[in-house]
Structure 1
């Protein structure tokens, strides 16, 4: 900024000339009046009342004038700036009032209408899959039965031909229930739903065609494919003339109803204390249908390119189990099977991590909706 100059004529300084100050004031007031929104008014304020506005720059020139000329120029520029500031304040109030009135109309809420604050819930997919599995067997004439989750060792082990030294009885597999006195209570958290089969034989007249869905417990670590609390659906048939052929037909019907028609199944020899002979059940991969086997270019994540998926276990009921339930083994025979509900859900709905089923995140269950 230059020093005062006594020979400087303020009339010849363009930004401070009365006509120029009047022009800048007029342009500012016109822009303010033309602003139709608060955002536009903000831009007008920066252009005509900000630090780099014409009136602000003119105000800086006053210091370079002779002392005798500063007062008149200051009154002229200061008056224009005050007028612009008052116009901005008034227009701000007008636009805010218009905005508030518009919001009351555009965002009006009818408080008499029913609200939808609560989000729509969803049934847990483990429940819906278990019900669907049971429904398939109900369609074949089976009856759904239930039993206690805290079970006597006799029902859980002894009646099912588990010998006293069987590994499944150890703490590595079974949750034992302690008695109030601290000793053995003879109770366990059931490790399978097979005890319900024994109860069905004891409580019902023959023949028996039942399925037992329910929660089971084992001392497994929680990871992507294991959980200490899981669900099974076990089936039992005891009647005259029952063979493995009938079992194969029932398993085929389940696979077709759950995963799609035309899928082949196979039995692989296995061992279970309560069935003899016993078998593992495999079904043809419902995604690649075996086409990925031996084809590295087209791997299948569902069956790991093996072409088969393990479904569960089955077999002819061991005569010792029938005898424990008071069934005449010379007249009656039967078969049983066990299917994992979580495993079926993983295959049927593409769930990859079993922890998603038990952590309680509503984002997981809501994706399945209210499926029945």
Structure 2
């Protein structure tokens, strides 16, 4: 067996040369100083202090040296690795301190602010307006009546003098509900519809109680309309029914005038234009004087009114005296009692009161639309 090579010079190993050790140390310290954040420092640490770094590879070469040469080479490499480790620690502490100071500034919390910083919500303006209309009529002695949204055809059409051949009963206006075991059956076979108006509530009320009856019937109704700026397949309607002895069109007119004054201010009144509805006779279309121009824009091209298009009147809805056939269908004697009724869409009323131009804004659920209305209108 040959003896150990005691004349071996570690300087001849390239990785252990003093200048190579110093170069690797200087490159590592320079890279550490140039690291701009903790992520960059982690990459530098892996490159200059990891298992594949130049100093780590040089340290592996020491094991192949003869015993008398290991001490000097180990001391040289150990001092270089210690300097790199110290530089890494100092730079990490410096970068962490900078990060913490930056976070304190960027994520500062003002503890003097109110603790409740949840944005205040708002009720939907349709709900608020509907309740305000209810309050107007409750103050006049009316009751609020409600009924199902899925309704039998008899309540929705037949009892209201809308015969089997009436156009409103077709799929153009009505959503028919498919009944049990009716898959593939003809439209309307189930005899069940999504109510097209809240008039069925009036029918149910007359069937449940004896006159006098004074009710207001708000609620959602459904018609097969396209959703656009002025139409929606689901909208909110309010209808009124009064049945008592001796009621006339004069009572209807006075009720309408009181309603529009309560909603739009003093000086606003209504007019009635002859029209036809199957469930009222005589029937009328009700208009109110424009609440903006009070009719003064009519014939005045210098002061046009956008609200009424300078016509002086705004159409609200239909009204009239309850048709005797409807009273008979509900078991009420038309020789003894008479009644009046009217109905209008609350969306349309909201558009008038607040210059809402697109009905789609009311149904999209955007809080930016509802929040400006607050809690009251």
TM superposition score normalised by structure 1: 0.71
- RMSD of equivalent CA atoms: 2.5
**Structure 1 segment 123-138 matched on structure 2, within 5 A:** 123-138=123-138
Cα deviations by residue, 1:58-91 (Å, 9 ceiling, x for unpaired): xxxxxxxxxxxxxxxxxxxxxxxxxxxxxxxx9x
Q: 1:316 aligns with which of 313, 316, 321?
A: 321
**1:289 and 2:294 aligned:** yes
Structure 2 partner of 1:272: 277
Structure 1 partner of 2:179: 179
Match of 2:373, SS?
coil
**1:356 and 2:361 aligned:** yes
Structure 2 partner of 1:239: 244
Structure 2 partner of 1:44: none
Cα deviations by residue, 1:172-191 (Å, 9 ceiling, x for unpaired): 00000011212421100000
Cα deviations by residue, 1:16-45 (Å, 9 ceiling, x for unpaired): xxxxxxxxxxxxxxxxxxxxxxxxxxxxxx
Give the CA deviation at 1:370: 2.1
Distance change (3 Å), C-alpha of 1:98 and 1:271: closer
Match of 1:211, SS?
strand
Match of 1:331, SS?
coil
Cα deviations by residue, 1:84-117 (Å, 9 ceiling, x for unpaired): xxxxxx9xx79x879939957x945549x98435
- Name the count of aligned residue pairs: 280
Give the CA deviation at 1:368: 1.2
Structure 1 partner of 2:41: none
CA distance in structure 2 between the partners assigned to 1:99 and 1:175 by the alignment: 63
Cα deviations by residue, 1:322-343 (Å, 9 ceiling, x for unpaired): 0000001111110100021001
Match of 2:254, SS?
helix
**1:343 and 2:348 aligned:** yes
Structure 2 partner of 1:253: 258
CA distance in structure 1 between the partners assigned to 2:260 and 2:215 by the alignment: 18
Match of 2:177, SS?
strand
Cα deviations by residue, 1:105-163 (Å, 9 ceiling, x for unpaired): x945549x984353211101111111111111111111000000000000000000001
Distance change (3 Å), C-alpha of 1:252 and 1:100: same
CA distance in structure 2 between the partners assigned to 1:101 and 1:287 by the alignment: 57
Give the CA deviation at 1:305: 0.6
**Structure 1 segment 20-35 matched on structure 2, within 5 A:** none
**Structure 1 segment 87-236 matched on structure 2, within 5 A:** 100=101, 103=104, 107-110=108-111, 115-182=115-182, 183=185, 184-236=189-241
Match of 1:178, SS?
coil
**Structure 1 segment 70-85 matched on structure 2, within 5 A:** none
CA distance in structure 2 between the partners assigned to 1:138 and 1:188 by the alignment: 30
Distance change (3 Å), C-alpha of 1:102 and 1:199: closer
Distance change (3 Å), C-alpha of 1:242 and 1:110: same
Give the CA deviation at 1:291: 1.2
CA distance in structure 2 between the partners assigned to 1:272 and 1:205 by the alignment: 25
Consecutive unaligned residues in structure 1, runs of 5 or more: 1-89
Structure 2 partner of 1:63: none
Distance change (3 Å), C-alpha of 1:188 and 1:101: closer
**1:327 and 2:332 aligned:** yes
CA distance in structure 2 between the partners assigned to 1:98 and 1:223 by the alignment: 53
Structure 1 range deviating more: 234-243 or 292-301:
292-301
**Structure 1 segment 9-20 matched on structure 2, within 5 A:** none
TM superposition score normalised by structure 2: 0.70
